[in-house]
């Protein structure tokens, strides 16, 4: 494992109180000390292996990997903080979404966790009455119902590992597992429970036995943890967790939310006309507000880090992962140079962007390396327009542009469904540190794009929940006003806007429907992706 990245942050002012925020992502675990102005006094980032794979398409991880990285990161940030250590008054955590852990009565994992990137599929047999399938097809709902039912992790474990399911005391999201490691309680934030779980998102509680989700995602109620709203106390740091992390025993652990919700809150994107674009492993466009709006039919919005609020989301499952893919497959020069100059390879990719004009001289990319629920299961990523003038720099620019085109498409769908025009954009996630990526975003969206005052918005969002939970800020409005603000702004470049508008409307928007029949032929001929089929996706 690579050595943890460290930052001392600013010097702690005497009398400051600090929140310990833990962000457990797909590729790293961050522990940060955040003050009441949203400034990061210290942060430790520990890289982790995202998953291991025993079979094609599987993605699993040993839960102890996350706990080990989390406890080490917490201990190190506390040790490096000096006087600040004694002024930590609360903790909160946000984690990756859709990763699940089966544990016994003592909280010990019974099998490796199934990570959100996993592609295994359960059978729908016995879950959906055969007589109902024609009706669902006629209503245009079968493709979506089949997708979510087959990707339900509890369904797969019940069908393929019945003994594991019998022994399961609790079926937990990763956040619930880490909450138990920190407090000894089987509890979780209602804003952490997303995906194929029987959750009533509107009310922030487990679905009733009559709710259709209880039939599609079959988990006995006694196997689920108790739920707590964001900003309420989940529990207190146990003696054993205190020994491993260095946190004081009895410190309150406040319920926060999933990492994307924390990111939106930490970016200060709480107005419905202010979109938050996240350039993370999943790239997303999100809007936030008190209304429950299904932007994609049958897909509920996600629970916000602010209780009683929701955020809409359209995502590209292999978002900034494509930049990592490019780095591994085509970025040897940058990797070697980065080692020599002691910088991140991604910092050098902006040079590739600057060397290629907008539109990548005719290369256009469709970023469906992994299709989502609104995309046909046999769809694939594609790049069209190659010629002998193209280099890897053109390919990199096409990756960035295609990703932003997909996010613009999601933003337009969001505007249609909510009826609220997006007037400004803020960017978060690792990719937001790239000036080139942010400028492409401003040009494609033809809108001002702002960075928050820090790119570590997930830890700031979790810290806001903690601050409200222990009364350091009176409410979420006051906390957000005090702890978030805009940083540098990027304005659209007019000549670039015109190029992107035409490529988006005349080429990108047509690629999916025109290539979809060929993708289906590829699947039928090669058998890849295995098990794909069914109805075309509902992309609109």
In tens, the pLDDT along 155-183 reads 999 999 999 999 999 999 999 999 999 99
Is pTM, for the whole model, over 0.75?
yes
pLDDT in tens, 208-226: 989 989 989 999 999 999 9
In whole angstroms, how far apart are CA 461 and each of 37, 255, 484, 531? 12, 11, 9, 39
- The chain-wide mean pLDDT, for the chain, equals 91
Q: Give the mean pLDDT of 10-37.
A: 83
| Buried-exposed string 399-431: b where 16+ CB fall within 10 A, e elsewhere | bbbbbbbbbbbbbbbbbebbeeebebbbbbbbb
The answer to whether the beta carbons of residues 398 and 360 sit under 8 Å apart is yes
Give me the helix-helix angle, 345-354 and 392-418, nearest 10°: 90
CATH of 5-256, one of 1.20.140.10, 3.50.50.60, 3.30.420.40, 3.40.50.720: 3.30.420.40
**DSSP helix/strand/coil, 116:** coil
Q: Decide if pLDDT at 10 tops 50.
A: no
Q: Give the mean pLDDT of 332-353.
A: 89
The answer to whether the beta carbons of residues 423 and 446 sit under 8 Å apart is no
CA–CA dist 386, 390 (Å, integer)? 7
Q: Decide if pLDDT at 318 tops 90.
A: no
In whole angstroms, how far apart are CA 36 and each of 400, 428, 474? 35, 20, 12
Q: Give the mean pLDDT of 239-252.
A: 97
Work out whether the CA dihedral 443, 445, 446, 449 comes out positive or negative: negative
For 206, how many CA atoms within 13 A lie in the half-sphere containing its CB?
17
Q: Where are the alpha helices (DSSP H) in 189-344?
A: 212-216, 239-245, 259-266, 321-330, 332-341
C-beta atoms surrounding 215 within 10 Å: 15
C-beta atoms surrounding 252 within 10 Å: 18
Q: Confidence class of residue 4 from pLDDT cuts 50, 70 and 90?
A: very low
Q: Confidence class of residue 539 from pLDDT cuts 50, 70 and 90?
A: low
pLDDT in tens, 120-159: 999 988 888 888 888 888 888 888 888 899 999 999 999 9
Q: Confidence class of residue 288 from pLDDT cuts 50, 70 and 90?
A: very high
Q: Confidence class of residue 531 from pLDDT cuts 50, 70 and 90?
A: low
pLDDT in tens, 96-128: 999 999 999 999 999 999 999 898 999 988 888
Ramachandran region, residue 471 (left: φ > 0; alpha: ψ -120 to 50; beta: rest): left
At residue 12, the pLDDT reads 39
Q: Rg of the chain's alpha carbons, rounded to an integer?
A: 23
CA–CA dist 388, 351 (Å, integer)? 21
The answer to whether the beta carbons of residues 281 and 211 sit under 8 Å apart is no
Q: Give the mean pLDDT of 310-316.
A: 93
Q: Give the mean pLDDT of 229-257.
A: 97
382 φ/ψ angles, rounded to the nearest 5 degrees: -150, 150
Q: Decide if pLDDT at 59 tops 70.
A: yes
Per-residue tokens: 160: 């393929």
Give me the helix-helix angle, 476-483 and 457-469, nearest 10°: 140
Q: Decide if pLDDT at 290 tops 80.
A: yes
Per-residue tokens: 120: 């295994």
182 φ/ψ angles, rounded to the nearest 5 degrees: -85, -35
In whole angstroms, how far apart are CA 409 and each of 293, 332, 501? 18, 32, 12
C-beta atoms surrounding 293 within 10 Å: 17
CA–CA dist 155, 70 (Å, integer)? 29
């Amino acid at each position: 494992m690579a050595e943890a990245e460290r930052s001392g942050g600013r010097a702690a002012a005497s009398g400051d109180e600090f929140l310990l925020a833990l962000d457990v992502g797909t590729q790293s675990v961050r522990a940060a000390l955040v003050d009441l102005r949203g400034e990061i006094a210290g942060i430790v980032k520990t890289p982790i292996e995202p998953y291991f794979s025993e079979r094609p398409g599987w993605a699993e991880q040993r839960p102890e990997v996350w706990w080990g990285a989390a406890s080490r990161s917490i201990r190190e940030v506390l040790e490096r903080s000096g006087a600040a250590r004694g002024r930590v008054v609360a903790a909160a955590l946000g984690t990756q979404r859709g990763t699940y852990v089966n544990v016994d009565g003592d909280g010990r994992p019974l099998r490796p966790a199934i990570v959100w990137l996993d592609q295994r599929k359960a059978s729908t047999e016995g879950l959906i009455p055969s007589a109902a399938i024609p009706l669902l097809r006629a209503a245009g709902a079968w493709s979506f119902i089949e997708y979510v039912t087959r990707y339900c992790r509890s369904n797969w474990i019940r069908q393929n590992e019945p003994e594991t399911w019998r022994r399961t005391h609790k079926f937990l999201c990763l956040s619930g597992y880490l909450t138990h490691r920190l407090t000894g309680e089987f509890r979780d934030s209602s804003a952490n429970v997303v995906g194929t779980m029987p959750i009533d998102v509107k009310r922030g509680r487990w679905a009733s036995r009559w709710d259709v989700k209880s039939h599609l995602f079959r988990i006995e109620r006694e196997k689920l943890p108790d739920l707590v709203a964001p900003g309420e106390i989940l529990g207190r740091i146990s003696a054993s967790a205190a020994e491993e992390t260095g946190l004081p025993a009895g410190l309150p652990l406040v319920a926060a939310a999933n990492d994307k919700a924390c990111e939106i809150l930490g970016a200060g994107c709480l107005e419905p006309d202010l979109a938050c674009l996240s350039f993370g492993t999943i790239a997303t466009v999100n809007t936030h507000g008190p209304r429950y709006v299904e932007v994609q039919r049958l897909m509920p919005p996600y629970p916000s880090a602010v209780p009683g609020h929701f955020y809409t989301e359209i995502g590209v499952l292999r978002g900034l992962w494509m930049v990592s893919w490019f780095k591994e497959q085509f970025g040897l020069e940058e990797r070697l140079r980065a080692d020599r100059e002691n910088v991140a390879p991604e910092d050098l990719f902006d040079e590739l962007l600057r060397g290629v004009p907008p539109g990548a001289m005719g290369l256009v990319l469709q970023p469906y390396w992994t299709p989502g629920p609104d995309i046909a299961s046999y769809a694939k990523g594609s790049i069209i327009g190659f010629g002998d003038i193209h280099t890897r720099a053109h390919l990199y620019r096409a990756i960035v542009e295609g990703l932003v085109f997909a996010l613009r498409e999601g933003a337009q769908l969001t505007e249609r469904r909510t009826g609220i025009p997006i007037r400004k954009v803020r960017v978060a996630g690792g990719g937001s540190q790239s000036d080139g990526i942010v400028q492409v975003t401003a040009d494609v969206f033809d809108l001002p794009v702002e960075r928050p005052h820090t790119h570590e918005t997930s830890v700031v969002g979790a810290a806001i929940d903690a601050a409200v939970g222990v009364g350091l800020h009176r409410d979420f409005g006051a906390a957000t006003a005090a702890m978030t603000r805009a940083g540098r702004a990027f304005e659209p470049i007019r000549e670039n806007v015109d190029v992107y508008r035409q490529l988006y409307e005349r080429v990108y928007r047509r690629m999916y429907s025109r290539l979809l029949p060929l993708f289906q032929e590829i699947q039928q001929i090669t058998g890849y992706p295995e098990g794909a089929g069914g109805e075309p996706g509902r992309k609109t």
